[in-house]
Amino acid sequence: MTRLSLISAISIGSLLAGCSSTQLDSKVEKADFFADNALGNPLAVVQHPAGIHQDGITYVSYQGPLEDPYVASYNHETKEWKGPFKAGVSELGKDPTRKKKIDNHGKPTMLIDDLGYIHIFFGGHGGDARHGKNPLGDVHFGGNKHTVSKRPGDITEWEELDSLPPFGTYNQAIKMDNGDIYIFYRHGAHRSNWVYHKSTDHGRTFGPAVSFLKHKKRKDIKANDSWYAFVSKGQGDDIIVSYDYHICWNGGAGVNGRGHTTERHDAYYMVFDTKNNTWRNIHNEKLNVPVTREVADEKTLVARTGGSGYWTFNGSAHLDEKGYPHIATNIGKDLGKKTGGPKQTSYFRWTGTEWVGGKPVNTQARLDNTDTRGDFIIKSPTEVSFILGYQENNEGVISYFNSVDGGESFTKGKELLRRPKAGWGLTALIKDAHPDARMIVAEKPRGTNWRKVYLVGDNGPIQRTKTDALLLKPTDKKHLK
């Protein structure tokens, strides 16, 4: 080394020695989002869990380029991000002849088995004719897939398992205390049963599909019975299910002759005892599955949600310390559009003797006629906190809303995120969430199908080095044209 080089090296070394790691780190530009390559509607409450916190690490998933599943992780002790890595190849997002190029129904669902392997379920919108006849309903597009990490806790490499039929949509995964794994989904397109499969070998193989909600043709009108469900672990060996009724219109029938719409109504609840393989309602009356619309109305109804003039969008369900269920469902007036009008998150709870509630969580959103979505944390039988995404004064907001009187009233709590001219896509709560990482949210700016994805907790979004968060490449954008 020359004398000049040595002097330069010493000078640089002295300069670095005089700077703390905090000072150096403060000069690195940070982003509130951890990735910018989410596509379309990359997240939803119904496909859950999309994220899991385990052993100090939060694992997150979302729909990325070409509708493939992507997985990233955040270490809460070291503050280190890893990924995102592509966790599989979806059958959706690859057909340039389809008029609707982004399907959005194959968003990933995550599960970690007792051996530490990470499972991702994704890619289905009911399957299609290439997969053969659907024995439990009709078909549409895509194919349900299942991948697993090659090593426990390692998100860098994945392998595909041939473990499930291709006809699934809206995957929801649950691991019981004994290690058994259940995967729930709709077995096809709208006119299909809802089913579950059980695995006793850490998700490597699954048993046959068992129907628990039945689709069937109605005799009184030109429509079929259909459903949307949210399934989550209850107490002990129980799995709880909240759901709403989808009236699936045929041909030119339906509201104002609009044919098929997203029209849904009412709220329902039931329980699956996995130990005894039995189903029951809130009054501990036995239910035979698959449940039909008639039985659902008679035995499992939580509330009528306003008649034909109001449509619903099923939300989440959780239990309080007494084992009583609490339910979120989104209710809004049909404004004559094919998809109905904006829907506000409303809240119901079981008191031990009756269902009460039904009031909107964010009353201002109802007055403004804007949409809200989210999930909630139960603190006691009468104290609950929602994390909601909504729009306010042309800005997208993620905020807490809290009730201490059993849902009679809610007050706005801490704001976690606000972005101009944006809508939001949100997941259900991350399983076993760290307070700093409660939920995954996607910012949906106008004029583009690309979304920034945030990991949001009680202190707002977890930041990442901006250069690591900027992932979009020119080739990613071409398939949308």
For residue 253, being part of any structural domain is answered with: yes
For residue 31, being part of any structural domain is answered with: no
Q: Is 481's pLDDT higher than 70?
A: no
Whether 170 is catalytic is yes
Active-site option among 74, 170, 243, 400: 170
Q: List phi, psi (to 5°) of 16.
A: -65, -35
Return d(Cα 8, Cα 341) in angstroms, integer. 67
**Across 206-225, average pLDDT:** 96
Return d(Cα 415, Cα 393) in angstroms, integer. 15
Q: Is 389's pLDDT higher than 80?
A: yes
pTM: 0.93
Q: Specify whether the CB–CB gap between 244 and 228 falls below 8 A.
A: yes
Top-confidence residue, 287 or 338 = 287
pLDDT tens, position by position, 233-243: 999 999 999 99
Whether 269 is catalytic is no
Domain count, the chain: 1
pLDDT band at 6 (very low <50, low <70, confident <90, very high): very low
Q: List phi, psi (to 5°) of 365.
A: -60, -35
Q: Is 9's pLDDT higher than 50?
A: no
pLDDT score, position 13? 42
Q: Distance between alpha carbon 192 and the CA centroid of its chain, in Å?
A: 21
CATH number for the domain including 102? 2.120.10
pLDDT band at 480 (very low <50, low <70, confident <90, very high): low
pLDDT tens, position by position, 104-125: 999 999 999 999 999 999 999 9
- Residue 65: its H or E element: none
For residue 16, being part of any structural domain is answered with: no
Return d(Cα 136, Cα 189) in angstroms, integer. 10
pLDDT score, position 22? 45
Sort 394 into a burial class: Cβ within 10 Å, 0-12 / 13-18 / 19+. exposed
For residue 453, being part of any structural domain is answered with: no
- Residue 147: its H or E element: strand 141-151
pLDDT tens, position by position, 406-456: 999 999 999 999 999 999 999 999 999 999 999 999 999 988 999 999 999
The chain-wide mean pLDDT, for the chain, equals 92
Task: Name the DSSP letter for residue 245.
Answer: E
DSSP calls for 331-355: EEE--SSTT-S--EEEEEEE-SS-E
For residue 469, being part of any structural domain is answered with: no
Stretch among 20-24, 149-153, 162-166, 391-395 having the lowest mean pLDDT: 20-24
For residue 293, the number of C-alpha atoms closer than 13 Å in the C-beta half-sphere is: 19
pLDDT score, position 369? 80
For residue 62, being part of any structural domain is answered with: no
Q: What residue numbers bound the domain in which 274 lies? A: 93-428
pLDDT score, position 63? 98
pLDDT score, position 478? 59
For residue 53, being part of any structural domain is answered with: no
Q: Specify whether the CB–CB gap between 426 and 389 falls below 8 A.
A: yes
Active-site option among 53, 62, 74, 105: 105
Sort 377 into a burial class: Cβ within 10 Å, 0-12 / 13-18 / 19+. middle
For residue 383, being part of any structural domain is answered with: yes
All residues at 6 or more sequence positions from 420 whose CB lies less than 8 Å from its CB, including other chains:
394, 395, 396
pLDDT tens, position by position, 277-330: 999 999 999 999 999 999 999 999 999 987 768 899 999 999 999 999 999 999
